Structures are given as structure tokens and as C-alpha cells.
Amino acid sequence: MSTWIDACAPDDIEEEDVIRFDHGGVTLAIYRLEDDRFFATAGLCTHEAVHLSNGLVMGKVIECPKHNGRFDIPTGQAKGAPACINLKTYPVKVEAGRVFVDLG
Amino acid sequence: MSQSSTITPPQTIQRRDYSLVGEEARRAEERGLASAEWYAAPIPRKQLKELMKRKDGPAIRDTALWIGALILFGGAGAYFWGHWLAVPCFIIYGVLYGSASDSRWHECGHGTAFKTRWMNDAVYNLACFMIMREPTVWRWSHTRHHTDTIIVGRDPEISVKRPPDILGLLLNLFAIKTSWFALGKLLLHARGRLNAEEATFIPEMERHKVYRTARIYLALLLAVAVLSIGLHSWLPAMLIGLPTLYGGWLTIVFGVTQHAGLSEDVLDHRLNSRTVYMNPISRFLYWNMNYHVEHHMFPMVPYHALPALHEAIKGECPPAYPSLLAAYREIIPAVLRQVRDPGYHVVRVLPASATVPPATQPPVDRLADAA
């Protein structure tokens, strides 16, 4: 069952960047890519619980700020040590000038 | 230095347990020192993003210079083999091989030196072989070093323990102790085994890489030895293998400045790491790792942006050491004193304007507390 949550305005996130969004005890990372697509993943690195919102977005990749573990943003796939476990991803939609995340 | 002070030692001082599977490891977890939240200097996100930006250009330029110099001085050493002119050639070649490789494996291991991933991986693997650091083992060991920097019982890369092993440090000027242990580990890993400490930080799914690489390293070293014996000449070994030893001294000279003599068990890199100003040649050889406080605080900032990061946050940090000599004026007396007084360490004083460290930071820097 979908549970769409109003997370932010599109302009709250710069192009090729990420912000942290907390809701109901869940921490998410919401991304805006260079081509203006939005994505959401679990907010903490699967290697060690570090907030990805402090990391670096490079194209479709997010790099963890602590150990430089990298994940593919659209799929959440870990791209090599020390990131070995994939990130959970969440559906995102932009409607009426707002970014919504489906926490399911 | 003026920014340092000392602490009176307690009456009973005990040697701490630096292993990752001992009592101190358990205590570090109990005290909230494992995988803890560390202080980070406030810096606007926009500015940090700019500093974190990856480029291929600086590392391609520096790698071309490095490889070019290796070929030039290695070739000249081989050309003049048997003549005294070979000596200076091999001194320079050795430093480029056995010492400059230290910062190359390190930066490329973080994946920040180049923008292009395969370039990081290629230089990482080459430099790891040069300095005899198994790539998978050291990738994970260094990951832990960044999680738990100088936390006793957690950090596998504390190079100067208390009390310090002075003989070991001197032997490591020629990488003798480190290479001896590295060889022992290669033999262990080639048999498909890890030691108990390595098992704490290398995940199961990565271990097959350790075993495979150890076999490749041993095969390469054996091939060089066979070639040297076959040719009745030290020359092949002088070019591959031995430079790790005879050229490794600068690794220690630079590396000891990073953390030696400073606090253990603090969650603030300003207190357990040093930033030391160095000349351009040293910074080329060391790829700016002299900005060590900055590197630990923001490890995703590439080496070529560390001087700019230093400028951005230096108001939050203790003063940088003006030179290598200035750093050693502090380190040598501190380390020598720690031989008889392991509780002693240098306390870095934060500027009055600096941001207060997190309230969660345990006020722990006495061995008496750990007893």
C-alpha cells in the first residue's frame, strides 16, 4: 500500500545533490540528479550508519562521506568495498511543486 | 611547541592492549568509542561540495611525473649498475618506489585521487605492491582506521603505541619490521587464512580476494628472486622488491607525524592528528597527506583540494606545525618520554573561537582510566 509523504520542494535540493529527510523514525536521503530526476534511498550507509546526506553526488552515484563507499542512486546497488550491501530505495514523484516519497 | 602541554602521570601505569580482540576492544565498545560520532568543523555545504569535487587532471599529471621519474631513475640506475653513479639513482628510485607509493595507495584507496574509478584502482594496486600492503586487507584496515582513529582496541593502524617500540620504529626506517610481518601475512593468506584481528574487519565476502592477491604477490616476489639468482645479479631485486626496504624511510618520516605522541581515545581529529606544513617536493611525494587533520575530518576531499580545505577550517583547528622539523621537535621528546611513561601524551589546544566538540565525547585520555 502506498503512503506518499510530502518531503520537500524541488528547489530545496540543488542539482546533483542530496538532502536528509526524516519521517516516522525513518531516515531517508532524497536526491536530485543533474537531469532533474529525483530519487530516494535509505539515509544511512549500509556499511556503517553514516548519513549519506553529507556525501557527494557524482552523476548517478552517491559517495558516503566517511569511507567513500559508493551506491547507484536509482537502484541502491552497492558499487564496491566498503559498501557491500545495497541501499533500500523508495519511489519518488513530483506533483504540484512538491516532492513526495512513498514509504510503503 | 607552545600549543602543547603535558599531564602528570599516575603512579601505576599499565601497558594497553592494542589488539582488536582483547579487553580494550570490549571496553572501547562499552565506552561508546566504537563507530562513534566525530567532531566535524562547520563548513557550508556549497563550499564542501566544491572541495569534494573529483578531477582526473591533477592525479594524471602527478602520476605521469611519478611513473616518469621511476622509469628515469630506475633506468639510469640499471645503466650505471656497477658504477658509483648508480647509488644516487637508486636512492631517488627507492624513495619514489618505497615511500611515494605510501600516499598513492592511500589516496587511491579512498577513491578520491582520480575521478575515474579504474584509474584509482590501477594506481592503488600498483602502489600497494610497491609498499607491500595487500590491497584488500589494507582497504578494510584503513576503513577501520577512519571509523575509529587512534581508538585503542579498534584501530588496526596505530603505528606508535604506548610504550613505543623504538627499535621497531628504527627498523621500519628501512621497512624491516613491517616487511617481515607483511611476508608472514602473505604466507598465511596464501594458505587461505586470516589472523583473528583481520577477521574482525574483513567481511567474509571479500576474503577470497585476500587469498588470491597474496598468491600473486608471492609469485611475483619469487619470480624476481629467481631472475636475480639466474642472472647472478642483485639488479632485478634492486628494481622490484628491495626498494620497499631501502626506499621506505620517508614513509616513516612522514607517517609518524600523523598521530604519534597525541591523544588516544578522543573523538576529535584535531586532538589526535597533526597538520604539518611541508615544501612542494615533500607534498608531491606525500600527496598532501601532511594536511592530516583535514583528511581525517573530511576524507572525501581529494588530496589536491586539501590546502584549500585547510584554509577553510584552520580557524577551528590548533595551529598547523610550521615544518617537519617543528613537528619532530615535539614528537621525539614525547615518544621517548612515553617509553618510561606511557600515560604521557601531547595535548593539542583548540583555539578559543573553535566549535565545542560533541557532548558525547568521553573525557578519556588517561591510562589510569583504562586500568
- Residue B10, pLDDT score: 47
Which positions ≥6 away from B334 have C-beta within 8 Å?
Answer: B260, B261, B344, B345, B346
Mean pLDDT within B265-285? 97
- Distance between CA atoms of residues B209 and B189, nearest Å: 10
Question: What pLDDT shows up at residue B145?
Answer: 96
Q: What is the pLDDT of residue B14?
A: 66
Please give the residue of chain B at the shortest CA–CA distance from A19: B45
Is A65 within 8 Å of chain B by CB?
yes
The domains found in chain A, sorted by start residue, are 4-102 (2.102.10.10)
Whether A49 and B35 lie within 8 Å, measured CB to CB: yes
How high is the pLDDT of residue A81?
81
CA distance B178 to chain A (A): 24
In chain A, which residue's Cα lies nearest the Cα of B107? A68
Whole-number pLDDT of residue B15: 78
Q: Is the pLDDT of residue B4 over 60?
A: no
Mean pLDDT of B26-49: 94
Q: What is the mean pLDDT of residues B313-333?
A: 97
Q: What is the pLDDT of residue B364?
A: 41
Q: Is the pLDDT of residue A80 over 90?
A: no
- Which run of H or E residues covers position A95? strand A92-95
Tell whether the model's pLDDT for residue B244 goes beyond 60.
yes
Contact A68 B298 (CB under 8 A): no
Q: Give one word for B221, left, alpha or beta, with left for phi > 0 and alpha for psi -120 to 50.
A: alpha
pLDDT in tens, B179-199: 999 999 999 999 999 999 999
**pLDDT confidence tier of residue B365, bands split at 50, 70 and 90:** very low
Residue B278 scores a pLDDT above 60: yes
Residue in B45, B46, B143 nearest the CB of A67: B143
**Residue B3: all three cell numbers together:** 600549543
Average pLDDT of chain B, as a whole number? 92
The helix, strand and coil proportions of chain B, stated in percent and rounded to the nearest 5, come to 60, 0, 40
Q: Which of residues 13-42 of A touch B (CB under 8 A)?
A: 14, 17
* pLDDT 10s digits, B120-153: 999 999 999 999 999 999 999 999 999 999 999 9
Residue B1 has pLDDT above 50, yes or no: no
Of A63, A70, A84, the CB nearest to B205: A84
Q: How close is the nearest chain B Cα to the Cα of A46, in Å?
A: 13
Query: For residue A79, what pLDDT band results from cuts at 50, 70 and 90?
Result: very high
Give the mean pLDDT of B91-102: 98
Average pLDDT over residues B41-67: 96
Q: Looking at the complex, does the CB of residue A48 fall below 8 Å from at least one CB of chain B?
A: yes
Comparing CB atoms, the residue among B139, B146, B300 nearest residue A63 is B300
Helix (H, G, I), strand (E, B) or coil at B256: coil
Residue A49's pLDDT band, with cuts at 50, 70 and 90, is: confident
On the question of pLDDT at B3 being above 80, the answer is no
What confidence category does residue B16 fall into, taking pLDDT thresholds of 50, 70 and 90?
confident
CB contact under 8 A, A17 and B49: yes
Q: Once rounded to an integer, what is the mean pLDDT over residues B89-102?
A: 98
Q: For the residues B327-339, what does the mean pLDDT come to?
A: 97
Report the pLDDT value the prediction gives residue A104, as an integer from 0 to 100. Answer: 81
- Residue carrying the nine cell digits 509523504: A5
pLDDT band at B13 (very low <50, low <70, confident <90, very high): low
pLDDT band at B2 (very low <50, low <70, confident <90, very high): very low
pLDDT grade for B368, boundaries at 50, 70 and 90: very low
With a pLDDT cut of 70, the percent of chain B lying above it is 92
A62 beta partners: A57, A71
How close does chain A come to B37, measured CA to CA in Å? 9
The answer to whether residue B369 scores a pLDDT higher than 60 is: no
**How confident is the prediction for chain A on average, in pLDDT?**
94
Q: Do A81 and B146 touch (CB under 8 A)?
A: no
For residue B357, what pLDDT is reported?
Answer: 61
- C-beta separation of A39 from A92 below 8 A: yes
Question: What average pLDDT does range B348-364 have in this prediction?
Answer: 67
CA distance B35 to chain A (A): 8
Residue B98: its pLDDT value, please? Answer: 97
Confidence tier at B157 by pLDDT (50, 70, 90): very high
Q: A67 and B52 in contact by Cβ < 8 A?
A: no
Read off the pLDDT band of B358 (50, 70, 90): low
- DSSP label of B303: G
Q: How many CB atoms lie within 10 A of CB B69?
A: 16
Chain A residue nearest residue B45, CA to CA: A54
Q: pLDDT category, A21, cuts 50, 70, 90?
A: very high
Angle, to 10 degrees, between the axis of helix B135-147 and the axis of helix B100-110? 70
